[in-house]
Amino acid sequence: MNRQKKIKQLLKAHAKKASAKLAPPSKNKYISKADRLKSDAESTPESSIAPEHEPIKLNN
């Protein structure tokens, strides 16, 4: 009985893994930070060079 249970458990695990491979991915593919910056630079070439904030001028 124990042998049959183990075989059934193994077959169930293999079937579960096979169906998981065929299922569509639930998460988006990981894109590294460097690749994200590169794609942003390609889409907006001048905005990445310009500073976001103006420097603060101090009166002496």
Q: Please count the other Cβ atoms lying within 10 Å of the Cβ belonging to residue 41.
A: 13
* Residue reference for tokens 């690749």: 35
- Name, in order, each residue with C-beta under 8 angstroms of 39's C-beta and a sequence gap of 6 or more: 31
Q: Greater confidence, 52 or 56? A: 56
pTM as predicted: 0.42
What pLDDT, in 10s, does the model give residues 3-55?
Answer: 999 999 999 999 999 999 998 888 888 999 999 999 998 888 554 455 566 76
Residue-level pLDDT at 49: 53
